[in-house]
Amino acid sequence: MNTAARRPRFEGSPLLASDVGFLHDIRKSAHVRQGAAARRGPPPTHPEEFRHVGPACGACAAYMATSVGLTTFNKAIFSTAHFHAAGALCLAQQLLTAVVVRRFGWLGWITLPPLTLHRQWQLMEMSLISVLRIFCGLSSLKYLNVPMHSALLRLSCLFTMPCEYWVFGRIPSWGVVFAAVIMTAGALLAAWGDMFFSAIGVTLILMGVISGSWYSVISKRELSRGHDNEWSLLFYQSCGMSFYLGVWVLLAGEYETVMSYKDLTSPFFLTCAAVNSVLAATLNYFHFMATNHTSAMTVGVCSNFKNTICDVLGVMLFPDIALTPSFTSGIVVSTCGALLYSYTIYSLTTSSNSSSRRGRHQASLLLDKAAADEAESSTSSSIASSSTSSLR
């Protein structure tokens, strides 16, 4: 007997086929939408790095606190101890960082991915950019006074936005742009009474600011690729910068400057240099951590806010810095800009998280409905088959 002829007609029913096809289309369209969203990524104005708000805020706070401490000890070494071999000091900091990170990796205290010479060579450009920002920043001090230098340093946010667009295609919201403009205006207002223009000095400091912005964006790019974590990137950068700084020390003749420094073995200088090196290593680590958990733009805002804190501490601790109305007004305006940026990022993050939760809830309801329809179709098919069998 032909078994095909005994098969219930309901199995090939157009209604049942349309139900199954409808369920398949639902699931297929859901997977397609999820895959397209994953490929497309978050919207350009969405701060996708702030999914973990606690670690992000902690990393930014640690970065600012360490940076303030390092700035204070730099002031003590260069102004109080009159040590002028900045390249040699940076070289000592990077060598110490590389040795300590490698030692921690051997002891198993930190997690280090496999370290290779090929990866080191790939990151040498990033190390060169970091040395360039240091060199240009220090060299510009020979042509600019401190207020003008400090004001131009805070232009970093304005250059970070086009760098992020170039690398990530990220378009900042109007709130972020407005906050960056307010912070820049506050910095210029704070230094308005002591402005001093020099074409060479302005060119050098702008080169340093652009290099710093590009360095932060590249750091975010390398961390996003997943090849390195904060520790391995810190090790690679310390080794690469040590090479370039060694060339700097040799060409600038700073080795003789260090050996002829009269207070080289004094307890005050040794203590300041040791604390300075530890703070520099810690600052670089927190810089990568903050960049990894947030964005280059947020790190730039933290740096500007740190400069504001250092200006206030400078007025309180050092008698050579005078408090003027324009300086006070500029500090207030810069602080308002930083607060506006924080509020903008918080609003975008909250709105995006709410949209994501709603999207996941709707997708869950859609899949539940599809499963219920499938169960109902299966039940109807079973009942129909049973009825056919009983009639036969």
Return the number of other C-beta atoms located less than 10 Å from residue 14's C-beta: 7
Residue 22 has pLDDT above 60, yes or no: no
Mean pLDDT over 96-119 rounds to 92
The structure's pTM equals 0.72
Q: What is the DSSP letter of 319?
A: T
Q: Give me the amino acid identity at 74.
A: N
pLDDT value of residue 34: 45
Residue 231 confidence (pLDDT):
94
Residue 27: the pLDDT is: 47
Which band of pLDDT confidence, cut at 50, 70 and 90, is reported for residue 109?
very high
Q: Is pLDDT of 259 > 70?
A: yes
Only one residue has tokens 């090849």, namely 227
Q: What is the mean pLDDT of residues 116-131?
A: 94
161-208: per-residue pLDDT in tens?
999 999 888 888 888 888 888 888 887 787 776 666 778 888 888 899
Give yes or no for residue 75 having a pLDDT over 90: no
Mean pLDDT of the chain: 77
Contacts within 8 Å (CB) and 24+ apart, 67-72: 67/283, 67/303, 67/306, 68/306, 68/309, 68/310, 68/313, 69/279, 70/276, 70/279, 70/280, 70/283, 71/306, 71/310, 72/310, 72/313, 72/317
| Average pLDDT of the residues in 338-346 | 82
Q: How many whole angstroms separate alpha carbon 249 and alpha carbon 89? A: 10
* pLDDT for residue 192: 74
Per-residue confidence at 9, pLDDT binned at 50, 70, 90?
A: very low
- Residues 350-362, mean pLDDT to the nearest whole number: 55
Residue with tokens 């709707």: 362
Between CA 273 and CA 88 the distance in angstroms is 11
Position with higher pLDDT, 192 vs 29: 192
Structure tokens at 31: 């997977």
pLDDT of 247 reads: 93
With beta carbons less than 8 A apart as the criterion, state whether 90 and 245 touch. Answer: yes
- Residue 94: pLDDT band with limits 50, 70, 90: very high
Domain extents for the chain?
A: 54-353
Q: What's the average model confidence in pLDDT over 11-34?
A: 45
pLDDT band at 321; cut points 50, 70, 90: low
Please answer whether residues 86 and 78 qualify as being in contact, where contact means their C-beta atoms are separated by less than 8 angstroms: yes
Higher pLDDT, 151 or 290: 290
For residue 196, what are its two tokens? 């001093």
- Which residue in this structure is represented by tokens 């950019």? 129
Measured CA to CA in angstroms, residue 95 lies from 151, 246, 260 at distances of: 31, 10, 22
CA distances from 23 to 17, 18, 260 (A): 10, 9, 82
Q: Which of 238, 240, 228 is nearest to 101 (CA)?
A: 238
Residues 6+ apart with CB under 8 A from 93: 276, 277, 280, 281
Q: Which long-range contacts (CB under 8 A, 24 or more apart) does 267-274 make?
A: 268/81, 269/77, 269/81, 269/83, 272/73, 272/76, 272/77, 272/81, 273/77, 273/89, 273/92
pLDDT digits (tens, 9 = 90+) for 49-73: 555 677 888 888 899 889 888 877 8
Q: Is the dihedral of CA 260, 149, 163, 56 positive or negative?
A: positive
Report pLDDT for 8: 43
- pLDDT tops 50 at residue 213: yes
pLDDT value for 123: 94
Distance of CA 32 to the CA centre of its chain: 31
